[in-house]
Amino acid sequence: MGRPHKHAGMSMVVTTTLPDAAIAQICEQVAGEARSGIFGEMKTRLERVNPGEMTFSVRGPGGFIEVMTFMVRVAGEGRGRRLSTHILSYTTSREMLFGFIPVSPRVMVGLKNYKKFNELVAARIQSQDPSASVTPDVRLAG
């Protein structure tokens, strides 16, 4: 495997007082809205729910091909409740000349969906909890 994409460690951290059920509901609703159309209609969908975490996938047109997966984790209690998102897996695409000469940088497929998901989740949490703090685009070592 080659070196990680420059956005592979992108994450978001939100500190809030909202209960887990409210956060889960926000994430589920937002998943249906986090769409992009660069490579056709790409949709974000909820794949798995475990205590304290939810796993989402970004899928290409038709919903058959998974191009990215990311996780939302919630930990802590009260004012110390912390939501974080991070990318688990992804695919990349690159424009080629004559089918084998790269002419552009690698693009992380599904990144727009992931960013949109983070933006919408942060906005909804802040609308329900004005004291929430959001740290977008945190870079994790990876």
Domain locations along the chain: 11-129
CA distance 55 to 117: 13
Q: Looking at the predicted structure, is the pLDDT value of residue 54 above 90?
A: yes
Q: What is the pTM of this model?
A: 0.83
CA distance 51 to 59: 24
CATH, domain range 11-129: 3.30.310
Q: Looking at the predicted structure, is the pLDDT value of residue 142 above 50?
A: no
C-beta of residue 88 within 8 angstroms of C-beta of residue 69:
yes
**pLDDT one-digit tens code per residue, 92-105:** 876 655 666 666 67
Q: Which residues of 24-34 are buried (b: 16+ CB within 10 A; e: fewer)?
A: bebbeebbeeb
